[in-house]
Amino acid sequence: MAGAEIYRDAVESDRVDQNLATLTERERRGRLPYGARYASRFAKTVANNTIRLGVESALGEDSRYFASPRRETGRRVAHVFRTTLFARKADGRQTLAVGRLAGAFGSGLVSRTWQPEGHNGIGRGLQSGAVSFSFDFASNAFREFWPDLRKRLPF
């Protein structure tokens, strides 16, 4: 019996084009859904980076994060928020980070095209974009505060 289950699991893992909504409970917990979620996340990241780079290049934006020179926590949090929402131009001016916003929300909408029914609407795409943009903020916050936190850790 174990050999038949191993064979069946191997065959099931090769059916990557199957809609997740049609899977049995056992299949939903296996390797196939994990692989599908990983592939979906990877494709969304590729879409985000592609859209973002294209728009930033066209508009001359630089959305890299540079740490705040200030040491007050409130000012540093404000700096994280400001540098997530705004990008620098070549002349030093700050402008709305259109590339970052377009990448986050564009990839959120594009990624809905391969989602199952009920998860593929515009509202879900905008929600996905908001989550991506929030992760940009969290990533910048980590870059800002991690060096100080690392110094305080005992290891």
Please give the pLDDT value at position 82: 96
Q: Is residue 21 part of a domain?
A: no
Q: Is residue 120 part of a domain?
A: yes
Q: Which domain holds residue 119?
A: 39-152
The single residue listed with the structure tokens 């020179």 is 69
46 Cβ contact partners less than 8 Å away, ≥ 6 residues apart: none
Mean pLDDT by 10 residues, the chain (155 residues): 44 45 62 80 94 96 94 96 95 95 96 87 93 96 95 86
- Total tally of structural domains belonging to the chain: 1
Q: Is residue 145 part of a domain?
A: yes
* pLDDT, tens digit (0-9, with 9 covering 90-100), for 119-132: 888 999 999 999 99
Q: Is residue 31 part of a domain?
A: no
Q: Is residue 64 part of a domain?
A: yes
**What CA–CA distance (Å, rounded) separates 87 from 37?**
31
